[in-house]
Amino acid sequence: MKKLVTFLSSSVLILLFTLFIVTCRKEYSYEGNPEATFSLVGTPNECINFEVSGAYSAGIPADSNNRVTVTAQVITAGSYAIITNTVNGISFSASGVFADTGYQTVVLQGNGTPAITGIYNFAITGDSGCTFSIEVINKPLAGYLLSGSPDNCESPVFSGDCVQGKELSAANIVVINVSVITAGDYTIITDTVNGISFSSRGTFTTTGNQQVTLTGAGIPSAPGFFYFHLTAGASQCTFRLPVVSAEPYATYVLESGIVNNSAYCTPHSIQGSYTAGTPLDASNTITITAYVTITGNYTLSTDSYNGIIFSASGGFTTTGQQSVVLYGSGTPVMPGTFTLVPQIVGPSPIGGAYCGIDIPVK
């Protein structure tokens, strides 16, 4: 009987031991690698031979370049997780597996956005941690190019009507395209033309093609087409902005005839002489004919072409055919014959909004 009891007791012990082993193996497989035993070189003071990578600028988010490399002395291989405290808006962390013992390098990745400039100390949490410091500097100036430089700005988008005598508001904006080479602060301001200008200030946080919104300021003194110049570092471009007359608007068309499949102002006349390199004066005008159906204010202008532009504004007080004189300005650049196109600035009917005139330049 004693032998039977002994045999049963031994069997139970073997069974319990087997279940314990199986249970431990299952638990290990779910948990993955065991936790490593290690200490960072320099514990508990400053990390020894730590290396800081990347630039740290106030207001610029940390990216993959913002890293700190420290050295760990690994006693037992296994998984690890290392994290610092959060200072001035940023922290550093790393996780992984030490596959071997001995001295191992660990790269901590930066996260967050530095708030202000200065030198800041970071402490790696835990009994095996050490400390290191980084310097946060002022945001650098961005490096970027205006799309379309050095000619017309590429595909500017305008919002809000610019009206003669009416102060511009936050609704008067121009969206331009830029190519950002290096992140940083930017300031983009146009020249002041016709009493108004456009500007934007901010920070590019990433590189690549981006859009910038310029907000208008000032009061337009005259209606017509006006050209604004943007300068950003070594690049510059130009955009054309229409300024419309104040209400009430006239309803009218420009009388024209078809010549070589193009609408030419008919009738029209050209006054004054045109010589390359000689500025235009009050004698340089063109006269065209408009047909008015509703009286009111009008503005006509050509684009600037070969250095010159023609424009006129006023009010139609009677309906029917009306002669309109457009006054020239600028300096012809090259000799030849150039087609300038008077067009309605502001509300216009479908058809009859523009016509062409050939200007001979000696």
What's 284's domain CATH number?
2.60.40
Pair (176, 198) in one structural domain:
yes
Same domain, 219 and 264: no
Answer with the one of 136, 167, 186 that is the final residue of a domain: 136
Check pLDDT > 50 for residue 311: yes
Print the domain residue range for 301. 251-361
Q: What's the longest Cα–Cα distance across the chain? A: 137
State the CB neighbour count (10 A cutoff) for residue 45: 8
Residues 131 and 148 in one domain: no
What's the pLDDT at 260?
84
Question: Does residue 205 contact residue 183 with C-beta atoms inside 8 Å?
Answer: yes
Asked whether residue 222 falls in the same domain as residue 180, the answer is yes
Same domain, 330 and 356: yes
Same domain, yes or no, for 123 and 156? no
Please give the single-letter amino acid code of residue 21: I
CA atoms within 13 A on the CB side of 300: 32
Last residue of a domain, one of 219, 243, 267: 243
Q: Which pLDDT tens digit goes with each residue over 15-46?
A: 334 333 333 322 323 346 799 999 999 999 99
DSSP 43-91: TTSBPTT-EEES--BTT----TT-EEEEEEEEEE-EEEEEEBPPBTTEE
**With contact defined as beta carbons under 8 Å apart, do 73 and 114 qualify?**
no
Whether residues 267 and 330 share a domain: the answer is yes
Q: Are residue 223 and residue 297 in the same domain, yes or no?
A: no
pLDDT tier at 212 (50, 70, 90 boundaries)?
very high
Mean pLDDT for the stretch of residues 201-210: 91
- pLDDT value for 12: 39
- What kind and span of H or E run contains 5? helix 2-31
Looking at the fold, whether 51 and 71 belong to one and the same domain comes out as yes
Q: What is the pLDDT of residue 55?
A: 87
Q: What is the mean pLDDT of the chain?
A: 89
- Among 215, 243, 271, give the residue marking a domain's end: 243
Q: Are 132 and 149 found together in one domain?
A: no
Does this model's pTM top 0.75?
A: no
pLDDT tens for residues 64-94?
999 999 999 999 999 999 999 999 999 999 9
The count of structural domains within the chain is 4
- The predicted structure's pLDDT at residue 32: 61
Are 102 and 1 in the same domain? no
Shared domain for 257 and 354, answered yes or no, is: yes
Domain of residue 67, CATH code: 2.60.40.350
As a whole number of angstroms, the distance between CA 43 and CA 18 comes to 42
